[in-house]
Amino acid sequence: MHPTFSVIFLTTLIGVGQGLFLALFTEQSYASVNLLPGQPGAFYVTGSLIALAFLLGGLVAAIGHLGKPSYMVTRAWRGITQWRTSWLSRELILLPLVMFLIFLYLLFHYLGWEANPFGTTGVSGQLTLILGGITTVMVFALFICTAMIYASVRFLQEWACALTVSNYILLGGASGFTLATAYAAWAAPELVGFYAGWAIIITVLGLLSRGLHLIRNARLKGKSTLQSAIGVRHNRIEQKAMGMMGGSYNTREYFHGKSAAFLKSIKWIFLLLLFPLPLLLLWAGMDGNKGMLLLAFIMQYVGLLFERWFFFAQANHPQNLYYQTI
């Protein structure tokens, strides 16, 4: 497939935002049972604000994927109607919903609403914990929707597997926790070790999942052949004309247009930027080195951009059989 930057930015930015929220709420739930020192509301407010900024960035990037930006106003609302069948529609519903819930989470912390609907059980901040719990479920649902948009297209065999879903969750989570580590270096230095630990664990899990996905895809065999595409049983079929000379949508949309060597180099770049380098920097920055941790996040995010580019470029659409540019 031809990688589009709007979708690359959309999926990576909202992944960071979702991951950062999960990191914030993980801290709050740990703190609620006194496993971690409790943080003032400002910690969650600023953190949620950063998460919202990333989600908003993703939403803006998504506009670039529409035919016209104006469709966002005039037509995109229809996207909520097909949730029964379309994962894209489900994502379109969940993304604003998650943003709204995170905004509420931010607002409740900002206003310091401390209602305890379950009474005085020793756990404080029950209102925000309930809200955060609901938001967490929705964040995971959003991860699944985003991934299923790709994993549900059975013709793109590179995408159509459960590893696509685990990749989106783990890589989004890893980038969010790495950002949380960097954020903690500024806002709550005592949490750096906690966040860095989780960021390392999730990044390693992400490496495992993405590595398995790469291995799986390397052994993938196309289900369709030129023989089944045109229905002629002969081992030697050669296309002589595509039906046009100057290219068409079919020759532009479904192929990355780069060489195999280019693709391979992108793979190694993302493997390096996404996993070992941030892991090293996270480990080195455990003592609260702000620059090191910020660099870890930036590196991982750039790696994520490469990873997403590769994810799209690697998918080989069966329609390419009719357009033998590949």
Partner 1 sequence: MTQLALVIDLNVCVGCHACVTSCKQWNTSGAAGPLFDDRPYGENPTGTFFNRVQTYEIGQFPNTETLHFPKSCLHCEDPPCVPVCPTGASYKRAEDGIVLVDYDKCIGCKYCSWACPYGAREFDEQQKVMKKCTLCVDRIYDETLPEAERKPACVLACPTSARLFGDVHDSESEVSVAIRENGGYPLMPEWGTKPSNHYLPRRKTRHKIHKDELLRVDNPLKKEDIRHEIRDNVSLDDWLM
Rule CB under 8 A: which residues touch partner 1? 1, 65-68, 71, 75-76, 78-79, 81-82, 85-89, 92, 149, 152-156, 223-224, 228-232, 234, 236-250, 253-254, 317-320, 322-323
What is the smallest separation between the CB atom of 86 and partner 1, expressed in angstroms?
5
Token pair of 3, please? 């990688």
Closest to 4 measured CA to CA, from 173, 255, 218: 255
- In the complex with partner 1, the residue whose CB is nearer, 29 or 86, is 86
Contact yes or no for 178/296 (Cβ under 8 A): yes
Rounded distance between C-alpha atoms, residue 43 and residue 110, angstroms: 10
What is the smallest separation between the CB atom of 250 and partner 1, expressed in angstroms?
5
DSSP state of 219: T
- In the complex with partner 1, the residue whose CB is nearer, 100 or 155, is 155
Closest to 181 measured CA to CA, from 278, 56, 54: 278
- In the complex with partner 1, the residue whose CB is nearer, 168 or 297, is 168
Contact yes or no for 299/273 (Cβ under 8 A): yes
Token pair of 238, please? 């050669």
Rounded distance between C-alpha atoms, residue 162 and residue 76, angstroms: 28
Burial 69-102 (b: 16+ CB within 10 A, else e): eeeeeeeeeebeeebeebbebbbbbbbeebbebb
- In the complex with partner 1, the residue whose CB is nearer, 73 or 134, is 73
What is the smallest separation between the CB atom of 314 and partner 1, expressed in angstroms?
14
What is the smallest separation between the CB atom of 118 and partner 1, expressed in angstroms?
39
- In the complex with partner 1, the residue whose CB is nearer, 135 or 316, is 316
What is the smallest separation between the CB atom of 306 and partner 1, expressed in angstroms?
21
Rounded distance between C-alpha atoms, residue 242 and residue 248, angstroms: 10
- In the complex with partner 1, the residue whose CB is nearer, 216 or 223, is 223
Residue written as token pair 């930027």: 273
What is the smallest separation between the CB atom of 5 and partner 1, expressed in angstroms?
14
